[in-house]
Amino acid sequence: MRVAIISDIHANRHAFEAVLADIEERHAAEVWCLGDVVGYGADPDACVELARAHTAVCLAGNHDLAVTGEVPIEDFSRAASGAVRWTQEAMEPANVEYLASLSPVGEREQIGLFHASPRDAVWEYVLSALLADLCLDAQQQRVCLIGHSHVALSFERASGGETHGETRPAGSEASVERGEWLLNPGSVGQPRDGDPRAAWMLLDTESWTAAFHRCEYDIGGAAAAIRDAGLPGSLAERLEYGQ
């Protein structure tokens, strides 16, 4: 099965719509979202409604959990906590209820799904081979998918070997047929790897390949929506730089 893996949409409707169009062109059978549908951006209701319509699996991220009151706002930076409070006031109750129904952990097709990591599904940023090695020790499945870091990455450990990781630029592909893997598709709505384009990953569970994709979207429109909503200007500025 060809599955589109997305994460960290962060209420960026412009990026989400562009990624969904790209996914449709590549004929994925399902879309799995690893969480943070809301947070930072100015279109939380639109993004939740798109996720409800298009995803077969949707996890809760730490920003989603903050909006529903399941994690403390005090655990966030000033800009992020301000965005959480704005989102709580702006969202329709039915969409908040949907977020409250989600879990940061899941499983599909014997693949582990975590918003952050197999060790800490809500908060851990897996950005090094050392942390990935600890996560591979903890995970139950051979292949697991993670989000949260906003960076497209893959970590691999062959049987009895060391864990190796690498960033995954647009157009790269990993063969995940053997060994243990942690895969991060990068961020749809707020990439932090220097490439401002929206990121996602196409996982083929028959050939066991993972292809990493980027697509252009209306960054100016997304930034303008953030400013018009009165959200912190830094949240708009960083979109242009992929940071």
CATH numbers and ranges of domains, the chain: 2-241 (3.60.21.10)
> How distant is the alpha carbon of residue 137 from its chain centre?
22
Q: Give the pLDDT confidence of 152-204 residue by residue, as tens digits.
A: 999 999 977 899 999 999 999 999 999 999 999 999 999 999 999 999 999 99
Q: What percent of the chain has pLDDT over 70?
A: 100
What is the CA angle 225-226-229, rounded to 5? 85
Q: 180 CB contacts (<8 Å, ≥6 apart)? A: 136, 139, 142, 143, 156, 157
Residue-wise pLDDT for 21-42, tens only, equals: 999 999 999 999 999 999 999 9
The radius of gyration of the chain from alpha carbons, rounded to an integer in Å, stands at 17
State the Cα angle at 118 between 113 and 119, rounded to 5°.
155
Those residues with Cβ within 8 angstroms of residue 32's Cβ, 6 or more apart along the chain or in another chain: 3, 4, 5, 6, 55, 56, 57, 58, 108, 113, 145
